[in-house]
Amino acid sequence: MFKDILDNVAVKTPLVHSITNYVTVNDCANILLASGAAPIMADDENEVEEITSLCHALVINIGTLNSRTINSMIIAGKKASLLAHPVVLDPVGAGASKLRTDTAFQLLNEIKFSVIRGNISEIKTIAQGNGNTKGVEADVRDAITEDNLDEAIAFIKKLSVRTGAIIAVTGAIDIVADSRKAYIIRNGHALMSKITGTGCMLTEVIAAYCAANPDSLLVATAAAVCAMGLCGELAHSKLTEVDGGTSTYRMLLIDCMSKLNSKMLSEGMKIESR
Amino acid sequence: MFKDILDNVAVKTPLVHSITNYVTVNDCANILLASGAAPIMADDENEVEEITSLCHALVINIGTLNSRTINSMIIAGKKASLLAHPVVLDPVGAGASKLRTDTAFQLLNEIKFSVIRGNISEIKTIAQGNGNTKGVEADVRDAITEDNLDEAIAFIKKLSVRTGAIIAVTGAIDIVADSRKAYIIRNGHALMSKITGTGCMLTEVIAAYCAANPDSLLVATAAAVCAMGLCGELAHSKLTEVDGGTSTYRMLLIDCMSKLNSKMLSEGMKIESR
Amino acid sequence: MFKDILDNVAVKTPLVHSITNYVTVNDCANILLASGAAPIMADDENEVEEITSLCHALVINIGTLNSRTINSMIIAGKKASLLAHPVVLDPVGAGASKLRTDTAFQLLNEIKFSVIRGNISEIKTIAQGNGNTKGVEADVRDAITEDNLDEAIAFIKKLSVRTGAIIAVTGAIDIVADSRKAYIIRNGHALMSKITGTGCMLTEVIAAYCAANPDSLLVATAAAVCAMGLCGELAHSKLTEVDGGTSTYRMLLIDCMSKLNSKMLSEGMKIESR
């Protein structure tokens, strides 16, 4: 099941349209290419409908949202929904400002998302309007631990029912769930939080995998979360060999994604379902 | 002839003004520095005339165009033309949306470009309004091959007559031509298409080489295309040694440009003229 | 004294809000993380007050300013001043266009900056309105040398009196001064000017160090300048080992910042005061 996910990406080379932030946009484009997909970034309201129509999936990331691009996000999101493309939301910093929280709610009201990926504070904000977002990082008070895992899963499944979207919450422990089934994923490395863009890049990989596997969105999303976490682990092993720092780590992370195959993923994924 | 091109860049350190996309802008700035030139990015309509006046060349890249920057492109382009600076157009994604195609035509109508560089689908769009642009990638149906090479050269020379610009079409085989003479270039490596920005970076290098060689624009453009392709080959050799992935390849590509000299270029270029 | 600066960053993990340019923004985010701080970029006028309120310092960098973001800079700067957060100005390209020069003066009129960091041409523009800014690079005619060092220090101290800000002028020789005391710093490497963003990154590190050391802004700023220069030296040593080019150098520079500690800094800093 997980095996086919990557092979389908390789076969289809899905084209992913991203309306995303200017901080990590280059990493987003490169991780898509490394994943076997192809990127196009376009955010003007006069072209987003056409561009998204050419593509196989859409990412909406509110990391550096502004009044001009919010409108483009809505136009593109509606068009992609209409075309039944996977649409993935990354509500970066939801909870950190009224603009971000309001925009996240506006997007959720107007667009049917396939997947919503965020850290736990962002996801809590979306669910309840009260996550403790610290800038663009999750607050430690919100963290998912072994102790509150079942509670977190129930919470996430309920949010999936309400939004109709697969929810992917990433942190030390990742949860990917729809209304019925949850995957708990323990891949990843703490160093991933010392470079910018790992969350944004994961969102792109989710879109790529979903675009190539439109009938298996939950499995595709879980596979993407495993893949990114596994690359984080593999990159850390290589980093230790070369005694590098965080910038080398960023490079190795994308390198590992460009070399990942089904066999490596199936052997390295640390996943269970509940 | 080709020998002097790089030496002139080293002597003059041309300053290149770029109005470009936010996906690859950092790579564009770094490749200019690696090439021996210096970058300045400025896109506000209230300063582009002054900024471009300080510079020796202008790049207009429509990769993430929007209504605000289109106007700046026109203002800057007109000023640079007036000052007889080399002006290079990179019509990223022309054909993928009406906005991009219309903007490309508007720019061509209002600005006298020295060089237009794109993939074959973008160039066909500019010539005929009907290239099969797939997002920002060329469509395989458009590809230049050994079989249609003479036909492609004739087509490109005709477009040069019509636009008054040197045309650089890049892909597996590259063609650089004006109305009279065409260079066919076979440098490059397939892996260049697995990182974002190789096209955008090449456009910057063309601007740098043209800025330092204003009386030899055709040769300067051909040299830049050879240089970028050769760096793609050299970077691939190094990549094999270190067993790296696509992100390492991106780094090595810029590294190679920073170490390229006239001797390496003249020994490595694979060029013929027709 | 210098020793505590880095330790305080490690303990406090300051959150830095940056309104900066899209050329080097990714490097800015990564150097903040490498320095032990955390980044958030937000530039919409409807959220900058809230975002900056969550943070411990603010950076305003006019590298790719536009009419939309200038207003956000002013709103954020006023709020951060009100909250007594360190506010750092990087007047990129002041003197290169009327828009940049006017914006720099407008920002200086409306916001109380803690630190202003620029190259000598930018700082002369701020002081006198007539620096010989060449694009975003300093003009050689403006350079600080051993011969004009005392004159430069007097000039910088006077500017500090007038603006109430610590002034950090960076180049081959760096000067960090308030109205009473000047540090002269001789760390750094010439190769730092062959990659984009070293100035922008330094400005972020200054903000991070000041945020964690609000009662020692002069020392914190001097420490940041030493740290960045020292990382430039260390990265150059590593570069020689691996025979890399400028892109490898960029990576090694950020790597070195991620590995820098108090002991390395105190042993490597080349600083005197006058």
pLDDT at B133 over 90: no
> What was the pLDDT predicted at B214?
97
Most distant pair of Cα atoms in chain B: their distance? 49
Residue B135 clears pLDDT 90, i.e. is over it: no
Between A and B, how many CB-CB pairs are < 8 A?
98
Q: In a 3-state reduction of DSSP, which class is residue C118?
A: strand
Better-predicted residue by pLDDT, C109 or B135:
C109
The verdict on ipTM greater than 0.90 is: yes
Strands C15-19 and C38-41: what pairing? Answer: parallel
Q: Which pLDDT score is estimated for B141?
A: 76
In whole numbers, what is the pLDDT of chain B averaged over residues? 95
Q: What percent of chain A has pLDDT over 90?
A: 92
- State mean pLDDT over A33-43: 98
Could you say which of A33, A41, A251 has the minimum Cβ distance to residue B248? A251
Determine, for residues C100 and B25 on separate chains, whether the beta-carbon distance falls below 8 Å. Answer: no
Quote the pLDDT of residue C189.
98
In chain C, residues with a C-beta closer than 8 Å to the C-beta of B250 are 247
Return the number of other C-beta atoms located less than 10 Å from residue C149's C-beta.
15
pLDDT band at B134 (very low <50, low <70, confident <90, very high): low
The whole-number pLDDT of residue C138 equals 73
Residue B7 buriedness (CB in 10 A; 0-12 / 13-18 / 19+): middle
Q: What are phi and psi of B212, to 5 degrees?
A: -90, -10
Q: In this complex, which of C23, C68, C251 lies closest to B26 when CB atoms are compared?
A: C23
A227 touches chain B (CB under 8 A): no
Q: What is the mean pLDDT of residues A63-70?
A: 94
pLDDT in tens, B222-274: 999 999 999 999 999 999 999 999 999 999 999 999 999 999 999 999 999 99
DSSP 8-state assignment for residue B192: G
Closest listed residue to residue A33, CA positions, set B199, C255, C196: B199
Average pLDDT, chain C: 95
Q: For residue A245, list chain C residues with Cβ-Cβ distance below 8 A.
A: 34, 252, 254-259
Q: Does the beta-carbon distance from B250 to A30 stay under 8 Å?
A: yes
Burial of A14 (0-12, 13-18, 19+ CB in 10 A): buried
First to last CA, chain A: 17
- Say if the Cβ atoms of B96 and A54 lie within 8 Å: yes
B214 versus B129: the higher-pLDDT residue is B214
A26 at interface of B, judged by CB pairs closer than 8 A: yes
Residue B87: its pLDDT value, please? 98
Cross-chain Cβ contact A254/B247 below 8 Å: yes
Does C55 contact A135 at a Cβ distance shorter than 8 Å? yes
What is the pLDDT at residue C3? Answer: 82
**A194–C33 CB contact, under 8 Å:** yes
Find the closest chain A residue to C256 by CA distance: A245
How many Cβ atoms sit within 10 Å of the Cβ of residue A232? 24
C68 to chain B: closest CA residue: B44
Distance CA C64, CA C21 (A): 5
Average pLDDT of C19-41?
Answer: 98
Q: Which residues, including other chains, have CB under 8 Å from residue B179's CB and lie 6 or more apart? A: B157, B160, B161
Mean pLDDT, residues B77-103 taken together: 97
pLDDT tens-digit map of A96-145: 999 999 999 999 999 999 999 999 999 999 998 666 666 667 777 788 99
Count CA atoms closer than 13 A to B12's CA, side-chain side: 20
Q: Per-residue pLDDT for C182 more than 70?
A: yes
What is the C-alpha to C-alpha distance for residues C48 and C28, in angstroms, rounded to an integer?
Answer: 18
- State the pLDDT confidence band at A236, using cuts at 50, 70 and 90: very high
Residues of A with Cβ-Cβ distance to C22 under 8 angstroms: 22
User: If you average pLDDT over every residue of chain A, what do you get?
Assistant: 95
Name which of C41, C47, C55 is nearest A99 (Cβ-Cβ).
C47
State whether residue A66 sits within 8 Å of chain B by CB. Answer: no
A66–C43 CB contact, under 8 Å: yes
State which H helix or E strand residue A265 sits in: helix A262-268
The contacts of residue C250 (CB under 8 Å, 6+ apart) are: A247, B30, C27, C195, C197
Q: Is the pLDDT of residue A208 over 70?
A: yes
Give the strand order in the sheet containing C15-19: C38-41, C15-19, C57-61, C87-90, C115-118, C166-169, C174-177, C182-185, C271-273
Entry pTM: 0.97
Chain B positions touching A42 (Cβ under 8 A) are 64, 93, 97
Whole-number Å distance between alpha carbons of C243 and A186? 38
- B264: contact with C, CB 8 A cutoff: no
* Percent of chain A whose predicted confidence (pLDDT) is above 70: 97
Chain B nearest-CA distance from A71, in A, is 13
Say how far apart CA C49 and CA B104 lie, in whole Å. Answer: 39
The range of the structural domain enclosing residue C37 comes to 2-273
Asked if the C-beta of C255 comes within 8 angstroms of chain A's C-beta atoms, the answer is yes
> Cβ A67–C51 below 8 Å, yes or no?
no
Residues in A closer than 8 angstroms to C198, CB to CB, are: none
Tell me how far apart the alpha carbons of residues B209 and A240 are, in angstroms, rounded to a whole number: 40
CATH number at B144 reads 3.40.1190.20
Chain A residue numbers with beta carbons less than 8 Å from the beta carbon of C56 are none
C38 touches chain A (CB under 8 A): yes
Cα(A225)–Cα(A205) distance, rounded to whole angstroms? 8
pLDDT at res. A128: 84
Distance from CA of C4 to the nearest CA of A (A): 22
* C197 at interface of B, judged by CB pairs closer than 8 A: yes
d(CA B105, CA B162): 13
Q: How many domains does chain A have?
A: 1
pLDDT for position A132: 67
Q: What is the mean pLDDT of residues C147-155?
A: 95
Which chain A residue lies closest to B135 (C-alpha atoms)? Answer: A40
Mention every residue, 6+ apart, whose C-beta is less than 8 A from residue A178: A157, A160, A166, A167, A218
Inspect the interface and report whether the beta carbons of B253 and C247 lie closer than 8 Å: yes
Residues B41, C63: C-beta atoms closer than 8 Å: yes
Nearest CA in chain C to B26: C23
